[in-house]
Homo-oligomer: A and B are copies of this chain.
Amino acid sequence: MHAQVPDGYDPRAFEPFAVTVDLAVFTLRDDRLHVLLVRRGEEPHRGRWALPGGFVLPRESADTAARRELAEETGLSAGTAAHLHLEQLRTYSEPDRDPRMRVVSVAYAALGPDLPEPRGGGDAADARWLPYGTQGALAFDHDAILADAHDRVGAKLEYTCLATAFCPPEFTLGELRRVYEAVWGVALDRPNFRRKVLSAQGFVRPAQGPPRLTGGRGKPAALYRAGGATALHPPLLRPERRETTT
């Protein structure tokens, strides 16, 4: 762009753009994938669910704005929100995506372990975790943003160690497997999943201490922590995709 800026160009000659962030925040509750949504209290789309988000402030980057909104909307302590995985998805800029004004929105996907119910603190009329797939039609173009976010998360589970971001600091391989099953919506073979995860170096490392004292059914499982790796090679491909190959 910069090469075309004429000398003395006045940015205010253009209709101003508002720049916002929209957040698709995922978590796992009861082994189901949930999304954080807010109910709109204003027109347009009053009463419909929408993704949380807000304006990028004049001295903020979009990343900073997304992190700030994440803390505000989830009602988590700033320290907790700072540790959630947050990554930029893409930018939505159709001229009429918001009927009120020209709004360019940088979308983010965020995810974390079983997060608490959002506290009502904030201007949002009503914020809630909804099981993914049950949210109906969202406001604005948020259906497309949410679908893109889900696609991205599902794809990144294949070739990165992102799944550990859905888990608490210490977790069992069963919990990790249920992350994959919830996001992909498929059942995975338990022994094969275990072999794959343990053979991928840097994905998980054993946590010292006794097997979990949990009251869950079945044999107690060993606890693991996230390893240092971010990439997963070779990838852990979804079962579905195999049809495309063969």
> A residues engaging B (CB < 8 A)?
1-7, 11-12, 14-22, 38, 40-42, 45, 50, 52-56, 58-63, 88, 90-91, 93-95, 98, 100-106, 123-125, 139-140, 159, 200-201, 229, 231, 233-235, 237, 241-242, 244-245
Contacts and interface: CB of A to CB of B under 8 A. Distances in A.
Given A5-B100, A140-B2, A106 B124 contact: no
B14 A58 contact: yes
A245 B234 contact: yes
A93 B53 CA distance: 16
Given A94-B61, A139-B2, A235-B235, A18 B11 contact: yes
Contacts of A125: 3
A132 to B, nearest CB: 20
A36 to B, nearest CB: 12
A18 B16 CA distance: 7
A15 to B, nearest CB: 5
A4 B106 contact: no
A172 B199 CA distance: 38
Nearest to A235: B235
A146 to B, nearest CB: 14
Contacts of A91: 62, 88, 90-91, 106
A124 B42 contact: no
Given A4-B54, A6-B123, A104-B106, 12 more contacts: A1-B21, A3-B38, A3-B123, A4-B55, A14-B58, A16-B17, A56-B93, A58-B95, A91-B106, A233-B242, A234-B237, A235-B235
A93 B88 CA distance: 11
A93 to B, nearest CB: 4
Nearest to A125: B3
Contact of A93 (B42, B62, B231): B62
Given A2-B139, A123-B4, A19 B104 contact: yes
